[in-house]
Amino acid sequence: MRIATYQYQGRRQVGLVSPDGATVTALQIDAPRSRRGVLSLIEERASGATQLPSTGETVQLGDVRLEAPLPMPRRNIFCVGRNYHAHAKELSASVFKNNAAKVDAWPIVFTKVPECVIGPNDEVRLPGESISAQIDYEAELAVVIGKGGRNISRADALSHVFGYTIVNDVTARDVQMRHQQWDLGKSFDTFCPMGPWIVTADEMDGTRTRVRCWVNGELRQDGQTTDFIFDIPTLIETCSRGITLHPGDVIATGTPAGVGMGLTPPQWLKAGDVVRIEIDGLGTLENRFVQADAPKNT
């Protein structure tokens, strides 16, 4: 199944996207649960529900506004750094050169705050050069946990997967280097486009798919998840070591070679750029980058 969160006639709804991607059929979910997007279904499935809610109106996909399938993840997104051999190599002369030799030892795991999630076709806001002048893209397959657990074994890990989606792990590289720790440079507002929907694990094999990324129509990234340094079961096993994973948790699995930082010279995103990510079996995530409004105090 392809399960989407979307806006239609002023209301957030959750629905099933047709196999051809032409229509979406609403699931009969009340407003409080709809506000949580697909997360409400994931949690109900984890609690033992075996049937989806009944279906309602079917409309053309072009008549709705897709949102992130998890508009507000239940907590920070787990993210994996340098998980393709070629990507690790392209960054070996960068800020990461001091630990490049340890790339195969343990996965590098950091997080992005849930508030930075936006949907497909939403605008990513560049913060301004006084804050960061080195904004980069990272196309990633994301794993959505369906069954919680702690100390999950590698052998059992895939049985804990609900499905898969796409994220763009947008990064302020200069902020990342300045702090020598990644969370701040990864968590600016709007820095986690997600979507276009979740494809359930029974219909997609995330361990064998292709991840591509275009910037303004130029193909920059093209990788296979079979080229991971640490495969999906290992990532789930690692993230659950001493930490309970919950239904709806998200693990972004790393990005292929071809990021802006790895080019010669580096190529940073600017206002007007469009980043398009496509993962076989999942669909397309596309976002335009714009200059942010003046900062607001809250």
Phi and psi at 145, nearest 5°, equal -75, 135
Report CA Rg, the chain: 18
pLDDT at 100: 52
* Maximum distance among all Cα pairs of the chain, rounded to whole angstroms: 56
Give yes or no for residue 163 having a pLDDT over 90.
Answer: yes
Q: Pick 77-291's CATH classification: 3.30.70.1400, 3.20.20.190, 3.40.190.10, 3.90.850.10.
A: 3.90.850.10
- Start-to-end CA span in the chain (Å): 40
Range 2-67 classified under CATH 3.10.330 = yes
% of the chain at pLDDT higher than 90:
87
CA atoms within 13 A on the CB side of 12: 18
Q: Where are the domains of the chain?
A: 2-67, 77-291
Cα distances (Å, whole numbers) of residue 260 to 106, 178, 179, 283: 25, 18, 20, 23
Fold agreement between 2-67 and 77-291 = no
Nearest to 82 by CA among 291, 188, 201, 223: 223
d(CA 256, CA 232): 15
Give me the count of residues in the chain. 298
Render pLDDT for 59-118 as a digit per residue (tens, 0 to 9): 999 999 999 999 999 999 999 999 998 766 776 665 555 555 566 789 999 999 999 999
**What pTM did the predictor assign?**
0.94
Quickly state the pLDDT bin for 252 (edges 50, 70, 90): very high
Phi and psi at 205, nearest 5°, equal -105, 95
